Structure 1
């Protein structure tokens, strides 16, 4: 039985993801100090990962070839981080869940309108606050005491980090500049983000590799993560890293970095 804190590496096969079951090696998750742009976006919820021995050997071969062996532990953790983030975003940003995010955005707009009145229009006093639960609770009544109402508003403002001085700035960040991924684009967002961040890291650390060589590294690394950078791929058959690198479409990856797709939409 696998502990809940353990992530099982997935295989991409015939368009589906299934747990690897053989020749797994337990690896502790290492802090991604060189990839904080990724960790700022997502938090990996596991402390241990089980990764196929073959994948680890391919990764080792790739790092040796590019002279990045010193980052082996971090790249090993990056394998599972990107795969798990990709699968999570792919699922969470599904068509079925988008309406929930839209409704949440509208509710925050409504809440901020109420807070704005509370902060700036003192002549308009809130008379009451009512709470409704999924089941009828007879002993709960509407809150009408002005002191209690004031305490509730203060608690909400404190939680959101809002006051009179920063209200409009905070409102812009929460609502006006809020973005929601388009339906079904969560996985694609993670791919584009990963390629861009990985490429920038490689350029900063490498002195001898051409741009195309670095792009091949990015594509090959995504394949090791079992993530197709091109949606036409349904599975991977990696034989050697040297051969896999020759199969990477650098032009496609260059477009991901130079001309990223508009994957976001706004709901006003």
Structure 2
């Protein structure tokens, strides 16, 4: 693993290379500063051995952490790059569309599966004519034998640990794991994860102060992640005081609180 992630600049809704001096760092484990990092960040640490950011941005990180009496500047460089890496494909909607379609249909397919299995386990109404398998080559094979079909249903139930007694409990568990993200709001969902990830530095029992939300907002600005709802470009001001003052705390708190509306029901 010797790849390097280079931080990019957000310009007119597009990420472009910085034109200023860049500095390079080793990618570091951030688990010591962030509680329970979301699994979305794991791919970043697996893919990149080095990160590169503008020298001026490293200076901003030093000033920001000094202001908040936080150490481990190098780890926050890794965190900054990982934030952009996680957010970028959702902002640009560069997601694998066929995969997203499968993801969005997953919940509905599981609902259909449980409707069928309920007939077999709960209603004792096993009257299905056959089980069919269709392949990408468009070949279709049907299994028509009653006993073979019955054994297949039984094997499926056993494989998922589903019985007549725990059917509805297991159904709820599996369906809860398939809540599907609304693709049109995926960038907002990722933004919420980023805000909540940083908030673990201070959040106590679901509460966080505005001064800490200002830290989060400016850090996200450095990552090229917009928290504001306007169409204005991200502006980095000349002083740390101005950068913190211009953070829209209300919007950051909105993403800190999180909303299930990011998901389809």
Structure 2 length as normaliser, TM-score? 0.75
| Counterpart-to-counterpart distance in 1, 2:50 and 2:162 | 40
Cα contact 2:130–2:149 (8 A) shared by 1:
no
Q: Does 1:89 align with 2:86?
A: no
1:51 offset after TM fit, Å?
2.3
Q: Deviation string for 1:65-97 (max 9, x for gaps)? A: 211104x34433321232222223332679998
Q: 1:201 is matched with which residue? A: 201
For residues 199-238 of structure 1, what are the structure 2 equivalents within 5 Å?
Answer: 199-203=199-203, 211-232=209-230, 233-238=232-237
Q: Classify the secondary structure of the residue corresponding to 2:226.
A: coil
Counterparts of residues 124-139 of structure 1 (less than 5 Å): 124=126, 126=128, 128-137=130-139
Q: In 2, are the aligned partners of 1:179 and 1:264 still within 8 Å (CA)?
A: no
Q: Is the 8 A contact 2:188 2:262 kept in 1?
A: no
Partner of 1:207: none
Q: How many residues are treated as equivalent by the alignment?
A: 255
Is 1:119 matched up with 2:121? Answer: yes
1:92 and 1:186 in contact (8 A); partners too: no
CA RMSD of aligned residues (A): 3.7
Q: 1:229 is paired with a residue of what secondary structure? A: coil
Question: Which of structures 1 and 2 has the larger relative contact order (alpha carbons within 8 angstroms, sep 6+)?
Answer: 1
Q: Return the TM-score normalized by structure 1.
A: 0.74
5+ unaligned residues in a row in structure 1: which ranges? 205-209
In the TM superposition, 1:1-268 aligns within 5 A as 5-20=3-18, 23-36=22-35, 38-40=37-39, 43-45=42-44, 46-54=47-55, 55-70=57-72, 72-90=73-91, 91=93, 101-124=103-126, 126=128, 128-137=130-139, 141-144=141-144, 146-147=147-148, 150-151=151-152, 154-155=155-156, 158=159, 160=160, 162-175=162-175, 179-203=179-203, 211-232=209-230, 233-257=232-256, 260=258, 263-267=261-265
Gaps of 5+ in 2: none
